[in-house]
Structure 1
Amino acid sequence: MTAEVFWAVAVGLAAVVAYVLVAAVRRAPVPSNGADADLAVYRDQLTEIERDLARGTIAEAEAERLRSEVGKRVIEADKARLTGSGATGRTSTAVIVAVIAAVIVPGGVAVYWGLGAPGYPDMALETRLAVLDEAIRTRPSHEEMLANQGRPRDAVLDQTLARELADTTDIEALRERAGQHFMSGEMQAAVRVQERILALQGEGASGDDHALMALSLVWEAQKYVSPEAEEHLRLSLRKDMDNDLARYLVGEMFLQGGRYDKAFQFWRPLAEGGDPAAPWTASIRERIGEVAELAGVSYALPAGTGSGPTAGDVAAAAEMTPQERQAMVEGMVAQLSDRLATEGGDVEDWNRLIRSLAILERLPEAQQIYDEAKERFRGRPSELSFLRLAAVETGLTP
Structure 2
Amino acid sequence: MLFWVIAALLTLGASLAVLLPLSGRKPAGEATGSHDIEVYRDQLSELERDTERGLIERAEAEEARAEIARRILKADKAGSPDGSTKASEGKAMRAFRMAAVLAVPLVSWGIYASVGSPGLPSQPLSARLEKNPADSSVDELVARAEAHLTANPDDGRGWDVLAPIYTRLGRYPEAVTAYRNAIRLDGASGARESGLGEAIAAAAGGMITEDAQAAFSRALVLEPGQPKAGFFLASALAQEGKIEEAIAAWQAMMMTLPPDSSWRNAVAEAITEGGRRLAENGQAAPGPTQQEIEAASEMSAEDRTTMIETMVASLDDRLKQNPRDLEGWTRLVRSYQVLGRTDSARDALKRGIDVFGKDSAEARQLTEFSGGIGVKATE
**Normalized against structure 2, the TM-score is what?**
0.34
Higher relative contact order (CA 8 A, sep 6+): 1
What TM-score does the superposition give when structure 1 sets the normalisation length?
Answer: 0.33
